[in-house]
Each structure stands twice: as C-alpha cells, then as structure tokens.
Amino acid sequence: MSGNPQRAPIVEVLDPAPRAFVMAEDAIQRRRLLAALGGLGSSSGAANVAVVSGRDVRDGLTALAGLRDSAQQDLRTVLVVPAASAADVREAFAAGADGLVLESTLEIALAPALAAVLSDQLVFPRTRRTHLAPPALSVREKQVLGLVVLGFSNQEVAAKLHVTEATVKSHLTASFRKLGVRSRAEASARILDPHDGLGLGILSIADPDVALDVFGDS
C-alpha cells in the first residue's frame, strides 16, 4: 500500500490437516484468528486454505496475491476485513476469494466459513447479500462504459457525448469502483466475459426519454 512501511506477513501453519495458512499484520490478530479456528478439527481433509486478515479488501487481496505467488498452488481463501462495501465484495470474489468474513463476527463465523470453503462453497456475510447484485450505474455511466467496451478512447467518448475528458474520467472512476475493477480492460472483461461477466444488459437504458444515441455518428 502506498505510504505504508513494508510489512512482513505473519504466517503460521496449522497442524493437523487441513493445512491452513494464517496471515495477519500483527501477533495479536494472528492469535485471534487461530483461536477462532480452534474447533475446526481435521475432518475437512487435506485441502489447502488461506486465511488472510487485512485492513481492507484491497489490502487483503494484495497479501493474498503474494501468498499465491509464493505458494505456487491454487489456495482456497478466506478474507477477514473490518468492513466491506458492495464494490469491495464484488472485487473480492472477482479476484478469486472464496470467502469473506467481517472482523466483528470473526469468533463465530470464521471456522464455519473455512469449513464451507473447503466444501467448495462461496461464503459471504448474510448482511452483504445485496452487495452481489449487479451495480446500479447512472445513465451517463452506462453511456461512457458502453463506448469504452466498444474500444473508444476517452477523447472520442468525450466528443460523442459532448462533455469534457475530465467528465469522462470522473464517470469511469465511479463506474470502476461500482464494478470492482481498476482499468478499462478490467471493466470490459467484467462486462463481456462469456462465463462470469455481468453481460451487456447492465448497460441497458430502459427509459427512451433519457437515452442518447451514443453509438451513432457525432
């Protein structure tokens, strides 16, 4: 994370199986995670699983990426974070997390979440159910994203919509946050991926009175 000192993650291996990697920023949080996992037992088999505690979802995903690179294996993963917005939830699962546990429910939720993940289930807080719904984009955000998906540059989008490039960038920033992505390429993939994409329907403008023919000639 920018502006923060380098931190060596605390890694501990639980024994016996399942082989669980616990990553935290400090020893206190590590002990809390291990205590919450105390009743898991060894009935879940030998599958690998990682529990990553982060200050926020992106911090956790950064640590998770490093762990996957070093382990060179397909780890099942559970993120533990203090809070998670709708975009955070979508980003976590789009990045490959298998479970998300809020820190406030750690003691009662972590062990069951881990067991579920080891049974090939995705896990997230019930209170965040609505966060997995398609993001609500404004009409202008849909227009900008539609043109981006078609391959238009920011300058070309601005010309077609008769707005400034700064306005286009502002709409893209808001859209990226809602989609849980960080770039034009990731946004296009999030919409167009034939298996896991949101589909072009997310760009639909139902009200013809406010729709603009953004795909026609300027």
Same domain assignment for residues 99 and 47: yes
pTM (2 decimals)?
0.58
Amino acid present at 116:
A
pLDDT tens-digit profile of 100-116? 999 999 999 998 998 89
Q: Name the band, by pLDDT with cuts 50, 70 and 90, for residue 214.
A: very low
**Domain-located, residue 214:** no
User: In this structure, are strands 19-24 and 76-81 parallel, antiparallel, or unpaired?
Assistant: unpaired
Contacts of 148 by beta carbon, 8 Å cutoff, 6+ apart = 157, 172, 184, 187, 188
Same domain assignment for residues 91 and 152: no
CATH number at residue 124: 3.40.50.2300
Mean pLDDT, all residues of the chain = 78
CA dist 114 and 23 (Å) reads: 14
Which tokens hold the place of 8?
A: 């060596």
pLDDT tens-digit profile of 32-63? 988 888 755 333 344 478 889 988 888 888 88
Contacts of 8 by beta carbon, 8 Å cutoff, 6+ apart = none
Percent share of the chain, pLDDT over 70: 75
Residue 50 near residue 64 (C-beta atoms within 8 A): yes
